[in-house]
């Protein structure tokens, strides 16, 4: 397969990348506002002012609307929408998920998307709902894979510059998600993760996180990942940190029609707001009360504009966190806004070995924010690295107090830190509270200490420890003596 995606910067499993399309390059992570060509709302040409570099629309709606179909076939998709931005087109799979059927076949919709010049063409995959029984999910997946192979054959008959997306399906069955990912990475330029909208709508973010990580465990790192239906700014940092590069959003419009106000911290109802916590042009120019008094159509337009401004602002914040190598810190602050986000981030702990493969080994600083910081790859990587250090002395000193000269130091979370690494990332560049550190930080440190002592069982260790460590420094190997201070 050709390579259309370049990774420029990385942190956690997130990356800033460049996706090349026939209508120009797109910097990722990117948000694609959903455009319904049948609805007169914020126009496609206005999307640039909010920060959009790429849009997504529905080729099935265009195909089924004769007036739109004729215009698109005659002048092209971009002329129909009045934009020169890259445009991705969905195939009708969303309608298939909602209504159970669509009046079109895979070949027809793939050929149609090619004829109208979609930058990213999507086959008619089957979005199996969550918790479907295994046989149903497997049968749906087999049909989807057949359609994706057909789309690949149609799409790449000639030297086609348009990109092909090959969605991953498989419901909530990890083995099916992995099977799907293994096959589609050789079929598509872009890999969407589909069938997750019902999970997102019901805040089952932990299930979404597991699906993404199962996909990432087998997919090539050079493939851009699109998370279908993820358009709320409160999830951008989390799902970017797990390796997603593209998001799409109809939320900006749907929420506005219900007078719902998006923030990176969750959703607010306009009726409950006395102040706008935002500095976008809409919020600086109006008060909540002024919007409530407006005509409904005008109010919906302004609410949608705010929702777009705040969504793209959050994506820029995520990108800067990647550049600063502080994406973990951003995620750990954002997950505090909903228990389901906390559950999702903690579900990632089982995949720390996978995250280690992606997360950069050297960074500027390690900010400890909570017990969730204990699960970062930098911690496990440090513990493994310390075990490989040669200990030449027969009698070795370890201290919990940096004011005491010692060969090694004992630090919450990090455990054993060689004296010569006190200025080296991560332990030497860690910013942590001087007191009231969570219990988990001590437990992880002591577990690392036990492994270190057992690994060097032929050496003798004296451990100078402060009282704060007393309840944790228990059951150490016999080659260690504790001197309390």
446 — phi, psi (to 5°)? Answer: -70, -35
Site of tokens 């930080």:
441
Catalytic residue selected from 11, 40, 90, 372? 90
Distance (Å, whole) CA 406 – CA 331: 36
Q: Which two tokens stand for residue 359?
A: 């997360």
Q: What share of the chain is helix, strand, coil (3-state, %, to 5)?
A: 45, 20, 35
Distance (Å, whole) CA 318 – CA 1: 29
> Does residue 189 carry a catalytic annotation?
no
Measuring CA to CA, which residue among 379, 406, 395 is closest to residue 465? 406
The number of angstroms, rounded, from the C-alpha of 455 to the middle of its chain's C-alpha atoms is: 37
380 — phi, psi (to 5°)? Answer: -65, -35
The DSSP call for residue 190 is B
295 — phi, psi (to 5°)? Answer: -60, 140
Distance (Å, whole) CA 70 – CA 476: 77
DSSP H or E stretch at residue 21: strand 14-21
The DSSP call for residue 128 is P
Distance (Å, whole) CA 81 – CA 77: 6
Where are the strands (E) in 199-305, listed by range? Answer: 225-227, 246-249, 260-263, 266-269
How far lies 229's CA from each of 160, 240, 478, in Å? 27, 14, 56
Distance (Å, whole) CA 357 – CA 224: 17
Distance (Å, whole) CA 402 – CA 65: 72
| Residue numbers annotated as active site | 90
């Amino acid at each position: 397969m050709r390579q259309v995606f370049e990774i420029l910067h990385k942190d956690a499993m997130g990356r800033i990348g460049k996706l090349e399309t026939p209508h120009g390059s797109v910097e990722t992570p990117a948000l694609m506002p959903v455009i319904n060509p049948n609805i007169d709302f914020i126009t496609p040409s206005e999307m640039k002012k909010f920060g959009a570099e790429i849009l997504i629309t529905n080729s099935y709606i265009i195909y089924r609307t004769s007036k739109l179909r004729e215009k698109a076939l005659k002048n092209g998709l971009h002329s129909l929408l009045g934009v020169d931005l890259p445009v991705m087109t969905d195939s009708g799979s969303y309608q298939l998920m909602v209504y159970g059927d669509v009046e079109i076949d895979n070949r027809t919709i793939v050929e149609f998307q090619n004829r109208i010049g979609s930058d990213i063409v999507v086959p008619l995959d089957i979005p199996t709902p969550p918790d479907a029984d295994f046989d149903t999910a497997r049968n749906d997946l087999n049909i989807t894979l057949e359609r994706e192979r057909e789309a690949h054959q149609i799409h790449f008959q000639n030297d086609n510059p348009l990109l092909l997306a090959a969605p991953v399906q498989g419901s909530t069955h990890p083995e099916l998600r992995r099977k799907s990912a293994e096959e589609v990475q050789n079929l598509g330029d872009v890999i969407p993760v589909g069938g997750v909208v019902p999970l997102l709508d019901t805040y089952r973010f932990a299930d979404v996180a597991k699906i993404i990580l199962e996909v990432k465990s087998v997919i090539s790192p050079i493939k851009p990942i699109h998370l279908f239906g993820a358009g709320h700014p409160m999830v951008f940092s989390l799902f970017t940190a797990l390796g997603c590069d593209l998001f799409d959003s109809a939320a900006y419009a749907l929420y506005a029609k219900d007078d719902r106000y998006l923030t990176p911290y969750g959703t607010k109802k306009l009726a409950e707001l006395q102040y706008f916590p935002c500095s976008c042009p809409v919020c600086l120019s109006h008060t909540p009360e002024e919007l409530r008094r407006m005509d409904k159509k005008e109010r919906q337009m302004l609410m949608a504009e705010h929702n777009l401004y705040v969504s793209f602002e959050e994506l820029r914040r995520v990108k800067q966190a990647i550049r600063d190598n502080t994406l973990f810190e951003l995620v750990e602050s954002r997950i505090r806004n909903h228990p389901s986000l906390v559950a999702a981030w903690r579900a990632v702990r089982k995949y720390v070995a996978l995250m280690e493969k992606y997360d950069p080994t050297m960074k500027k600083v390690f900010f400890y924010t909570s017990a969730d910081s204990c699960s970062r790859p930098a911690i496990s990587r440090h513990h493994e690295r310390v075990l490989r250090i040669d200990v030449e002395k027969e009698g070795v000193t370890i201290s919990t107090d940096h004011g005491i000269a010692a060969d090694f130091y004992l630090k919450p979370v990090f455990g054993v830190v060689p004296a010569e690494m006190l200025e080296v990332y991560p332990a030497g560049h860690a910013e942590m509270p001087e007191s009231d550190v969570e219990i988990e930080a001590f437990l992880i440190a002591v577990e690392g200490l036990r492994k270190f002592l057992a690994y060097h069982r032929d050496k003798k260790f004296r451990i100078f420890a402060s009282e704060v460590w007393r309840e944790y420094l228990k059951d150490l190997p016999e080659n260690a003596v504790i001197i309390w201070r």
